[in-house]
Structure 1
Amino acid sequence: MSLPEKIEVSADRKYPVYLGAALEDLGGYIHSLPDKVEQILVISHKKVADLYLERLMTGLGDYTVDLMIVPAGEEEKSLDRLSRLTTDALGFGADRKTLVIALGGGVIGDLAGFFASVYMRGIRLIQVPTTLLAQVDSSIGGKVAVNHPAGKNILGAFHPPVAVWTDFRTLDSLPWIEVENGLAESIKHALITDSDFFSFFETQADSIKRRDPVIWREMVARSASIKVRVVSQDEREQGIRRLLNLGHSFGHALETEMNYRGVTHGQGVSIGIVAAAFLANAKGLITLNEVERIKQVLRCYDLPTSISRQDPHALLQRMETDKKNQGGRKILILPQGIGNAVVSKECKDEEILDAWQKVILEDN
């Protein structure tokens, strides 16, 4: 196996992102940390732990390691689950020197990260992303959160990890629906910052769908590098980092309205990107040909560009609680051509409803 690539997030507290790192080698990295670690809490799903915990434990023999299993599902990102994790951690004797390892995808990274941010006012965290979504996006940047009935990720914090440890081999058995989640985020990265990377998704579709390891490594590295570059410029999401939310205001509203059932995060983002593209077209930021190009590349990877049986007015209401809103105004990220995006502070409800209606199919 080739040596891992290291890229560094240059935030208030710098931390490395290792790409192509072996799970078995994480223990050696922990040994090298300046502050001694004695106890580790591994937070994961059962299926993920069954697949990868043994490999991870290879390098953790010198530590007291306790495993905390969380049921699968976005609904587990809740204050109730956070309370249960706290009770379990106290039972294991976890203290302020304990290290948390988040072993899993976006849900685990968010939940374990938020737990680490508040347990005893904050303990150390290492993100070990095992899904494409987590490797290219959610594990990088320090944003951690749980959901609230009013909306997704309403309760959260910025809690940068000690490191992000990415083992590409965890992607080998990933179901395609999980791959879709990551592809939606990677295509979003390309759409907002890099037209050449967007063309990569158009020209390399066969190789990506075949899971060619060389092409996948390039895809993950390029996408993660975009996320690192953006976060390094704007850790607290006051400027350019807001562009990473393209498709998310629409997508999160859809996920919340559907109670996180029947639509995955990647599917919601995909539909949200298309809705944002239609809104951008209405504002003269993007041509209809470019909107069609965006739809084509999403469809190429089996990502949806429309949804049925939804009420656009209900979805608009869900968008009222979006974290980016300011002073009662809806703040949306819109594509400006291919490879650029802008923050739009002047989106009227009628325009947003029209965008929703363009991605909602009428029942036959």
Structure 2
Amino acid sequence: MNLPEEIEVAAKQSYPVYLGAALEELGDYLQSLPDKIQHILVISHKKVSDLYLERLVKGLEDYRVDLLTVPEGEEEKSLERLSRLTTAALDCGADRKTLVIALGGGVIGDLAGFFASAFMRGIRFLQVPTTLLAQVDSSIGGKVAVNHPAGKNILGAFYPPLAVWTDFSTLNSLPWNEVENGLAESIKHALIDDEDLFAFFETQADSIRQRDPAIWREMVTRSTSIKIRIVSQDEREQGIRRLLNLGHTFGHALETEMNYRGVTHGQGVSIGIVAASYLANAKGSLTLTEVERIKQLLQRYDLPTSIQKQDPQTLLRRMQTDKKNQGGRKILVLPQGIGQAVVSEDCTDEEILAAWHKIIVENN
């Protein structure tokens, strides 16, 4: 088999990320593993499995394959859904030698990965990301989780996959709102680590919106490489990896408050990036000109930079349950110019409220 481009994620349990892989060739990779597999559980959404399962199983003829589908939506990342998956897996005869394949976007990757981490104290799983968000971000780094009413991803684990198998062709079917989710994360990567990539998003906006294959491949590869490099330096999020949370503390509070309806993850991150940028400006690490440059880029891709009719005090309370907080202090990531970011542990509630007020509007 001619393997696609491979980048290793250096970790306690290292694993490869294959870029430009073909769904049909996954079976060849599995055959190369020293510990043989007999049973595979594919966890996916019905829409995704309708599009891609046939291609995937072409390379899995030597295995017993069962499909478990879950409804779409962030709210499906729940303990109730985890329990239903467990019952369905047992009905399929799953055991400690079963391999879980997460076929889909970020919700599927999180849910299937957390299921694999807990089922019979942990079974193998493999990420097959089919959305831009999953390919550039959520499939890499070993984080798996489900939500709790108190907050997003409160229940989770670090559980690396066997591999990440990225087929760029799955991006062709994505509606633009799904593309937006991935673009928000990719722009975040550029903002925290690569000013040249930020400029790439500015100059190549028309080609990206027209889905130019070569430009998309470059965009995914460069964004993925940033995530891999950062995760490889800090697997357990004790240092530099915390920078990847830019926009997420604000965004997760908004998603939780809205019960994951009316705002997608990418939209929440986009709004959160702008809120963090205003906060950075107030603390002197970002100019207003840079804040406007960030807003203009997000708007160029139809990503929101404000939100309607939310209560800043309520959102501030939501931020109190963020898992990144320490000792009652809110830990936030702030841009420091374009292409750099810093972890801030000294943001006051008054400063955070002022940032919320900057991005909350009464009417469009």
TM-score, with structure 1 as normaliser: 0.99
Q: Which residue number corresponds to residue 31 of structure 2?
A: 31
In 1, Cα distance between the equivalents of 2:362 and 2:133? Answer: 31
Q: Distance in 2 between matches of 1:116 and 1:3?
A: 26
Question: In the TM superposition, what is the alpha-carbon distance from 1:362 to its structure 2 partner?
Answer: 2.2
Hey, what's the Cα distance between the residues in 2 that align with 1:33 and 1:174?
A: 31
Q: Please state how far the C-alpha of 1:333 moved relative to its aligned partner.
A: 0.3
2:335 is aligned with 1:347: no
Question: 1:290 and 2:290 equivalent?
Answer: yes
Q: Find the counterpart in structure 2 of residue 118 from structure 1.
A: 118
Partner of 1:144: 144
Distance 2:100 2:270 in 1: 32
The amino acid that maps onto 1:356 is W
Matched residue, 1:73: 73
**Aligned-residue offset at 1:173:** 1.2
How many residues align structurally? 363
Corresponding residue number in structure 1 for 2:21 = 21
**Corresponding residue number in structure 2 for 1:168:** 168
Q: What is the alpha-carbon distance in structure 1 between the residues aligned to residue 13 and residue 73 of structure 2?
A: 31
Q: Which residue of 2 aligns with 1:101?
A: 101
Note the alpha carbon deviations across 1:324-360, whole angstroms, 9 max, x for none.
1000000000000000000000010000000000000
Q: Is residue 238 of structure 1 aligned with residue 238 of structure 2?
A: yes
Q: Distance in 2 between matches of 1:157 and 1:88?
A: 22
Residue 200 of structure 1 deviates from its aligned partner by: 0.4
User: What SS does the corresponding residue of 2:84 show, helix, strand or coil?
Assistant: helix
Distance 1:52 1:164, change over 3 A: same
Aligned twin of 2:48: 48
In 2, Cα distance between equivalents of 1:232 and 1:242: 13
Overall identity of the aligned pairs, in %: 81
Matches within 5 A, 1:242-257: 242-257=242-257
Hey, which bits of structure 1, 4+ residues long, moved more than 4 A?
A: none
Please give the alpha-carbon distance, in whole angstroms, between the structure 2 residues aligned to 1:72 and 1:197: 32
Per the alignment, in what secondary structure is the counterpart of residue 157 of structure 2? strand
Q: Matches of 1:122 and 1:203 in 2, distance apart?
A: 45
Letter in 2 for 1:172: N
Match of 1:172, SS state, is helix
Q: Does residue 1:265 correspond to 2:265, yes or no?
A: yes
Moved more, 89-98 or 274-283: 89-98
CA distance in 1, matches of 2:30, 2:244: 30
For residues 190-224 of structure 1, what are the alpha-carbon distances to aligned partners after superposition, in whole Å with 9 as ceiling and x for unaligned? 00000000000000000000000000000000000
Q: Secondary structure at 2:145's aligned position in 1?
A: strand
Counterpart in the other structure of 1:8: 8
What residue is the counterpart of 2:338 in the other structure? 338
The amino acid that maps onto 1:251 is G
Deviations 1:153-177 (A, max 9, x none): 0000000000000000000010000
Cα distance, 1:92 vs. partner?
A: 1.1
The residue that corresponds to 1:189 in the other structure is: 189
Separation in 1 of the partners of 2:221 and 2:117? Answer: 27
Which AA in structure 1 matches 2:309?
R
Q: Does 1:357 align with 2:357?
A: yes
> By how many angstroms is 1:363 displaced?
3.9
Amino acid of the structure 2 residue aligned with 1:257: E
Task: State the Cα distance separating 1:93 from its structure 2 match.
Answer: 1.2
* Counterpart-to-counterpart distance in 2, 1:173 and 1:128: 15
Query: Structure 1 unaligned runs (5+)?
Result: none
Q: What one-letter code is carried by the residue in structure 1 that aligns with 2:247?
A: G
Match of 1:203 in 2: 203
How do 1:273-312 residues align onto structure 2 when only pairs under 5 Å count?
273-312=273-312
Instruction: Name the residue aligned to 1:226.
Output: 226
1:59 maps to which residue?
59
Which whole-Å CA distance do the structure 2 matches of 1:3 and 1:20 have between them? 9
Runs (5+) with no aligned partner, structure 2: none
TM-score, normalization by structure 2? 0.99
Query: Aligned residue for 1:83?
Result: 83
Q: Deviations over 1:22-60 (max 9, x none)?
A: 000001101111101000000000000000000000000
| Cα offset, 1:3, TM superposition | 5.8
Alpha-carbon distance in 1 for matches of 2:363, 2:47: 37
Q: Deviations over 1:262-294 (max 9, x none)?
A: 000000000000000000000000000000000
Task: Give the secondary-structure state (helix, strand or coil) at the position aligned to 1:42.
Answer: strand
Q: Secondary structure at the match of 1:321?
A: coil
CA distance in 2 between counterparts of 1:95 and 1:224 reads 33
Q: What code does the residue aligned with 1:348 have?
A: T
User: Letter of the aligned partner of 1:316 in structure 2?
Assistant: L
